[in-house]
Structure 1
Amino acid sequence: MSTDQVERAVLLRLLDCLPIHLTIEEVVREVADASDEFGPRDEATNAIGALVRAGLAYRHGAFVVPSRAATRFATITEV
């Protein structure tokens, strides 16, 4: 998957689970399709970091949650 596709998969997973908050490890495991291989897990971890830097997600301890802006965008675009 491309970097954009992985970021999209992570963000969609976070949005799909609302109001439940997922841990970073849960998101990585789900997006990497439960793979124990380094590559897919690293891509998912990097995607979380990119979404946080872009302001689309926040880390809170072991958890990662979508930002209010990401949630609102998903609502108005019916993602």
Structure 2
Amino acid sequence: MNKDRIQGRWRQLKGRLREHWGRLIGDDFEAIAGKREQFLGRLQERHGMLRDQLEKPQAERQVRSPDFRFED
């Protein structure tokens, strides 16, 4: 198991916790951010991609559509 896969699993766990916390406090944006974190973690685990490679396409989408944003 390589470093990217381990980091991907850790990122998924953090995302689940963040999503759960967002639901507990009733913060939809926090829950959505947790889902995003889980998704990026799955990509990193399955494809061994680095964080920068995963977030580049999202940053490009934000430039094209500035009204739609994920908050970190």
TM-score under structure 2 normalisation?
Answer: 0.36
| Structure with greater helix share of residues | 2
Larger Rg: 2
| Structure with greater strand share of residues | 1
TM-score under structure 1 normalisation?
Answer: 0.34
